[in-house]
């Protein structure tokens, strides 16, 4: 049996992202770009075929997704903002506490502290919540 013949047989309620989330994440970018939609479909289809091929396929998918996260970074708003902050830094327009590496390190430290706290509690919590 090929992946194409078994494709419709899956639990649409047991997913990481539901249809509504896909729409929020991708609809604007794909609506007028059928090439990007086709590329994304090929990527997802290939990931399914690799995962279903066994343990080695799962490892390839994990490595491919990690590589993809690194590759897509230059196209993100975070990258654009980081570069802009870097230019202000080079131009001498930022205070030391606003240097990109200082701001990034503080954010990383807070995230790691939150992770340690959630590991200690055995549960995840919202870092913005006042419930903690």
- Cα–Cα distances (Å) from 91 to 3, 28, 85, 99, in that order, read 55, 35, 10, 11
For residue 11, what pLDDT is reported? 87
pLDDT band at 132 (very low <50, low <70, confident <90, very high): very low
pTM over 0.75: no
In the predicted structure, residue 6 carries a pLDDT above the cut 90: no
pLDDT of 119: 87
- Which pLDDT value is given to residue 60? 97
- How much is the pLDDT for 16? 95
For 65-108, the pLDDT digits (tens) are: 999 999 999 999 999 999 999 999 999 999 989 998 999 999 99
* In the chain, where the domains are located: 3-73, 77-121
Mean pLDDT over 13-21 rounds to: 94
């Amino acid at each position: 049996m090929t992946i194409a013949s078994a494709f419709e047989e899956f639990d649409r309620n047991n997913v990481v992202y539901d249809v509504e989330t896909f729409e929020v994440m991708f609809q604007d970018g794909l609506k007028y770009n059928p090439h990007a939609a086709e590329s994304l479909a090929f990527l997802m289809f290939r990931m399914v075929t690799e995962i279903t091929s066994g343990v080695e396929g799962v490892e390839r998918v994990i490595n491919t997704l990690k590589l993809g996260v690194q590759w897509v970074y230059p196209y993100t708003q975070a990258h654009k903002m980081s570069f802009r902050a870097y230019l202000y830094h080079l131009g001498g327009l930022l205070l030391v506490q606003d240097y990109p590496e200082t701001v990034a390190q503080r954010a990383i430290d807070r995230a790691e502290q939150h992770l340690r706290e959630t590991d200690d509690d055995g549960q995840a919590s919202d870092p913005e919540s006042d419930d903690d």
